[in-house]
Structure formats: C-alpha cells, structure tokens
A = this chain, B = another copy of it.
Amino acid sequence: MAEILDFEPLKTNLSAIARDVEGTLDTLLSVPAGGEARVVEAMRYALFAGGKRMRPFLTVAAADLFGVSREASLRAAAAVECVHTYSLVHDDLPAMDDDDLRRGQPTTHKQFDEATAVLAGDALLTFAFEVLSDEATHPDPRVRIGLVSTLARASGHHGMVGGQMIDLRAEAEGLSYGEEQITRLQQMKTGALITAAVEMGAVLGKAGPAAHHALISYARSMGFAFQIADDILDLESSAEALGKATQKDDDAGKATLVNRWGVDKARAHADFLVEQSIDCLAEFGDKARLLKEVALYAVQRKS
C-alpha cells in the first residue's frame, strides 16, 4: 500500500455522517399508533442496531463533490441504508444464513419473530423507494427517478438478490467457483449496492458523463476491495472481537477469493484494487479526499 494514513479525521467524518443518517431515519420513520406499530418497531430495531454506515457515507461523500445539499444527500443515503438493512434482516432468516446474532445483538427474527422479520425487511425495501420518490428528496423529478432506477437495478435479481441466490446455490450444491465466478458473485452481492450508493451521489449532483463514469469505476474497485477485506476479517477475527459468529463463512466453504487464494494474495489484490479506485478520483482533486481515505480505510481497518 502506497501510504498509511491517520484515519482519525476520516473516522470523525464517518461518525458525524452516520449520526446524521440515523437522525434522518429516526425522523422519517416514526412508530404509528395502530397495530402495524410492531413492524415499524422491527424496522427501527434493525436500522438502529449500529454498523459503520459505510454505504450512506459514500452517497453523502460523493454528493458533496457536487455541492449537493445535505438534506437531499442524507435522504438518499437513508434509502440506501434501508436497502442494506433489509438485506441483512432477510439474510439472517433461518431459511437463509440462519444467524441468531448480528453485531452481538439478537437478529430481528430472534428479537421479534420470523414473520415480523420478513415483513420488516419487505417494508424497509419499500420504504427506500417511498423516501426517494418524495419531493423532499430533490425538487427535480428526473433526479428522483434516477435515484430510484439506480437503487432498484442494484438491489434486484441483476444485483444484490441475484448475488445472494448464487451464493446460496454454491453453498447448497457444494459448487467450487473459479476466480471469475467469485468476482461476479461479489460484484452482484455486495458490489452492486456499494456502487449504487456512490452513483446516487453522482445522480444527485447531476454529474456529467465523465464524472459519473469515474465515480462508478471508483466504486466498483473500492467495493470489491472492501468485500475482500471483510472476508479476511471474518477469517482472522475471533467471535468476541466482531460480535458475530465468525469462521462461519469459511466453514461453510463460501465462495470468497480469500478461501481460494489465501490471505496474503487476497490482501495484495485488495491493495491493488484500492490504488485502482483512487486513480479514478484524479479529476476531482482534493475535493475527493474523503472518498480516497475511505477506500484506504476499507482495506486497512481492523473491524
């Protein structure tokens, strides 16, 4: 890696934006008086269970390049976090990854029940599109529909859901995937939403084609590096340190480059991807400092 940064300023920014995204979600999603309160409580339980808020951070940081108002970028970021959270709630279900704990806390179906968790996930996904379609997100309908389109394409069967399907099949059928297949799986399962998070910043900023394309390229490389780093952390960390059942991905023989290549080669590839992603930011100069730092942080973080 070319440089080791002091990540404290970035962490301060990450925390500040995470707090603002959480505040936005808190305001947008109040608990109603009727019997449907339970599903909203489950949505809020899942949303406010912590997390780095990396995806919403990327939306806000990308939108900042174009001077987008924070009100707009925080709403778009909140929608991205709703989609990410719904995917975690459904992935944790007994029929899927069957996880009882996430970040040391009971998963949504353990804290509530399975039916409520299915519905909470459904409602979070739907709510993301409700938030984006609201005039308060951006006065220009072209921008709002662009946000919806970007998020929907990344989340559905071409993207996140499709990637999860491939991953489940590989596990169930004991398939051994090659590099190319693993790369495609990861780009769909986690890469697509990370790319969408960045791209939504470009959509909000009405970026020209060159800037738009540069940000997508940045996000693709960075997102993949982030996933490799996550897989390395999963392999290396103890269950206590991360607050979730680790080694699980490895035990199940999941399709990751780390399992295929070993830690050293995987880490070297992640470092290469980060350098590649940072190169894509050249045209933005110092304005892209946060995006650059978060890419370096993605592979150097310890949790």
Contact = CB atoms under 8 A, between A and B. Distances in A.
A149 interface: yes
A123 B157 contact: yes
A92 B169 CA distance: 22
Given A35-B165, A39-B165, A115-B95, A126 B155 contact: yes
Contacts of A118: 90, 93, 95-96, 118
B149 A134 contact: yes
A188 B36 contact: yes
A34 B184 contact: yes
A129 interface: yes
Contacts of A170: 35
A141 interface: yes
Nearest to A150: B133
Interface string A78-111: 0000000010001001011000000000000000
A38 B169 CA distance: 9
B123 A156 contact: yes
A258 interface: no
A39 B129 contact: no
A164 interface: yes
Nearest to A148: B133
Number of copies: 2
B165 A36 contact: yes
Contacts of A115: 93, 95-96, 168
A127 B156 contact: yes
B35 A166 contact: yes
Interface in A179-216: 181, 184-185, 188
A169 B114 contact: no
Contact of A130 (B152, B162, B164): B152
A125 B119 CA distance: 12
A52 interface: no
A145 B165 CA distance: 29
B35 A164 contact: no
A106 B175 CA distance: 27
A145 to B, nearest CB: 5
A116 interface: yes
A43 interface: yes
A121 interface: yes
A95 B122 contact: no
A153 interface: yes
B166 A152 contact: no
A232 interface: no
Contacts of A75: none
Nearest to A142: B141
A163 interface: yes
Given A35-B169, A95-B115, A141-B145, A157 B90 contact: no
A39 B165 CA distance: 6
A68 interface: no
